[in-house]
Amino acid sequence: MSDIFRDVRWQGRVKSSVTHALLILVSATCLFPLIWMFVSSLKTQQTIFSDMSLIPAHAHWENFALAWTKGHFGVYFLNSLFYTVSVVGGVLLIASLAAYAFARLEFPAKKTIYTLFLATMMIPVPGAFIALYVLLIKLGLVNTRLGYILPQVNGGLPLGIFLLTTFFRKLPKDLEDAARVDGCNKFQVYYKVALPLAKPAIAVLTIFTALGVWNEYLLAMLVLSDQKLMPLQRGFMVFQGAHITQYPLLMAAMTISVVPIIAVYILMQRHIISGITSGALKM
Amino acid sequence: MKPSTKDQATSFLFVLPALLLFIVFSLYPFYKVFQLSCFDWDGISRAMRFVGLGNYLEVLTQNKPYWISFKNAAYITLLALTLQNALALGLAWAVDRNIRGGHIYRVIFYLPPILSGIVVGFIWNWIFDGNYGLLNHVLAQIGLGSWSRAWLADPKTALLGVAIIHMWKGFGWGFIILLAGLQNIPRELYESAKVDGASETTVFWRITVPMMVPVFVLVSILTILGTMQIYDLIVSTTGGGPGYNTEVPMTRLVAVMLGEGRLGYACSMGVLFGLLLLFLSMVQMRLGKKLEKD
């Protein structure tokens, strides 16, 4: 009897170590390209193609400074930061206002407008960027910061309105009613009571919007041709086109671009994971 | 008690900014795509020639590169639907078994999805490079040097190479959603099955799979929509080449719009593409509903 018992336990252990081996292998596959990017950023143009070591004998940290200054990635980085903050700010403000109204207030055609917003999340219009481009030319917004920011604020609204409306609806009404009795108007109730309570939903929305803007390429390619206005992703393509052989600098610049994402990701991973699952599973 | 007109008007102010942006940057372009798709227009000149459904006819009959690009995107999508999602499900299944360190795996697997297509493309370019690539280097080390090639420039392997990069970037996302789905399944179901003496395989096919149908449908739809519209990754790796080997619908749209300067025509291509995507996701939803009933 005890032999069989040991047998089962031993089987379980083999199974679990095979599973772990597989999971570790996949993890390594996920991490390795990133490590390789970082390692390559420390090599020189001469050694990068011959030196396949994971720890280069001489780490050329100056590549980072060179990428920042000579490669213009300092400019691109600050542009990306500016665009990300602007779009996130715009989406949070405009989406939370609208979401509060959808959840709590009464006005004509409320349901229709809400459905319209959600529909844009579901219906793919792959050619819309062509018409958008034509529109931006008409408005004189091509090659301006505003022309890059406004469409992205609009693009972030459906998800924002969806997440926040769902959240506001679930909030207990007592606090808001109490604030009303105390003489707050609608806007004050939204701003002083509902918004502070919506922090978890706002965190999720902030992360997803920020990731989207930080990684955006197509619109930047269409709208921005002035190097001084370009964000990082566009900068990579320009740099690659102009200096096809300066790999270490490109890798250094890419490392710089990835560090903030990974830092935010690790700090906020709980929100990210709950965001994907709640957003996706409720759709 | 119905709110007064004035009250409703101030409430409306809350949605006004969102509505204005939406009308200008979503609704108007949406309408404009359909309108432009019926014109022959280069985007600059004042001359716009109305051609009715002429553009559509040309897309359907004379745009071979576009159809090749659909075939390529369908190939990548098929691989993503099967290989990528099977891997994601297998890993989610493993982590759902309360394995130690499950949380760390979750964090690591979702790293590739948060990176940009451009960055991922540039990193992998170099792994697959013909002269200096890491893959060829490794192959040479283990005595398979004869296999080495310029993986992304060789017509035989370019599309598969791009598909592998895409799946590397995407599986972690499917993993997270599938894992959440698995964790929603009540544990009592598993326990009672175990008491009845069901094997793990039986449990998987009899309990897990049926419970997961809605999640499978969702993951499939999002995989199809995301993969068919792949763009950044192609731009940063092959640019659509060699030849038309890795062209996808989005690269064709941009090429016709900016390269050939045929905006109206590009709009008609976009409309047909959009209709196809809508059709595909509707078929998926129908299929899911039917499976759920059975």
Is residue B129 a part of any domain in this protein?
Answer: no
Distance from CA of B278 to the nearest CA of A (A): 7
B117–A101 C-beta distance less than 8 A: no
Instruction: For chain B, positions 103-162, list CB contacts with chain A under 8 A.
Output: 104-112, 114-120, 122-124, 126-127, 131-132, 134, 137
For A208, nearest residue in chain B (alpha carbons): B114
pLDDT tens digits, residue range B79-132?
999 999 999 999 998 888 767 777 888 889 999 999 999 999 999 998 898 887
Handedness of CA A199, A200, A201, A207 (dihedral sign): positive
Q: What is the mean pLDDT of residues B7-30?
A: 92
Give a three-class secondary structure readout of A139-160: CCCCCCHHHHHHHHHHHHHHHH
- List C-alpha distances in Å: B120 to A125, B72, B76, B146, B259: 25, 20, 16, 27, 25
pLDDT tens digits, residue range A7-45?
666 667 777 788 888 899 999 999 999 999 999 888 887
- What's the CA gap between A281 and A124, in Å, rounded? 19
Question: What is the widest separation between alpha-carbon atoms in chain A?
Answer: 83
pLDDT tens digits, residue range B230-289?
999 999 999 888 989 999 999 999 999 998 888 999 999 999 999 999 998 888 888 888
Task: Examine the pLDDT at A1 and tell me if it is beyond 70.
Answer: no
Contact A100, B15 (CB under 8 A): no
Mean pLDDT (chain B) is 89
Tell me the CATH number at B224.
1.10.3720.10
Q: Please tell me if residue B174 touches chain A, with a CB cutoff of 8 Å.
A: no
Q: Please tell me if residue A161 touches chain B, with a CB cutoff of 8 Å.
A: yes
Residue B228 burial class via C-beta count within 10 angstroms: exposed 0-12, middle 13-18, buried 19 and up: buried
Beta strand residue intervals within chain B, DSSP E: 39-40, 49-50
For A215, nearest residue in chain B (alpha carbons): B116
Number of domains, chain B:
1
Residue A2 has a pLDDT of: 52
Q: Please tell me if residue A83 touches chain B, with a CB cutoff of 8 Å.
A: no
Structure tokens at A229: 């206005």
Most A CBs within 10 A among B1, B8, B13, B22, hence the mutation to make, goes to B22
Which among A75, A237, A73 is positioned nearest to A145, based on CA atoms? A75
Residue A4 has a pLDDT of: 56
pLDDT band at A139 (very low <50, low <70, confident <90, very high): very high
Mean pLDDT (chain A) is 87
Instruction: For chain B, positions 225-284, list CB contacts with chain A under 8 A.
Output: 225, 229, 231-232, 235-236, 249-250, 253-254, 257, 263, 266-267, 269-271, 273-274, 277-278, 281
Distance from CA of A12 to the nearest CA of B (A): 12
Instruction: Write down the pTM of the prediction.
Output: 0.90
Is residue B200 a part of any domain in this protein?
Answer: yes
**Which of the residue ranges A61-65, B196-200, B289-293 would you say has the lowest mean pLDDT?**
B289-293
pLDDT band at A270 (very low <50, low <70, confident <90, very high): confident
Is residue B212 a part of any domain in this protein?
Answer: yes
Residue B149 has a pLDDT of: 84
Residue B82 has a pLDDT of: 95
Domain that holds residue B200: 69-121+157-266+284-293
DSSP state of B115: S
Task: Examine the pLDDT at B218 and tell me if it is beyond 50.
Answer: yes
Is residue B182 a part of any domain in this protein?
Answer: yes
Beta bridge partners of A41: none
Is residue B21 a part of any domain in this protein?
Answer: no
Q: Is B49 helix (H, G, I), strand (E, B) or coil?
A: strand
pLDDT tens digits, residue range A67-94?
898 888 999 999 999 999 999 999 999 9
* Domains of chain A: residue spans and CATH: 70-281 (1.10.3720.10)
pLDDT tens digits, residue range A153-212?
999 999 999 999 999 998 888 888 888 888 888 898 899 889 999 988 898 899 889 999
Instruction: For chain A, positions 18-77, list CB contacts with chain B under 8 A.
Output: 19-20, 22-23, 26-27, 29-31, 33-34, 36-37, 40, 48-49, 52
- Chain B residues with beta carbon closer than 8 angstroms to that of A76: none
Alpha helix (H) residue ranges in chain B: 5-22, 28-36, 54-62, 64-79, 85-96, 102-109, 111-114, 117-127, 134-141, 158-183, 187-195, 200-203, 209-228, 232-237, 249-254, 263-293
pLDDT tens digits, residue range B48-88?
888 888 889 888 988 899 999 999 999 999 999 999 999 99
pLDDT tens digits, residue range B139-172?
888 888 788 888 988 899 999 999 999 999 999 9
Which among A252, A208, A274, A278 is positioned nearest to A41, based on CA atoms? A252
For B8, nearest residue in chain A (alpha carbons): A107
Q: What is the ipTM of this complex?
A: 0.89
The C-alpha angle with vertex B252 and arms to A77 and B227, in degrees rounded to 5, equals 70
Q: Is A127 helix (H, G, I), strand (E, B) or coil?
A: coil
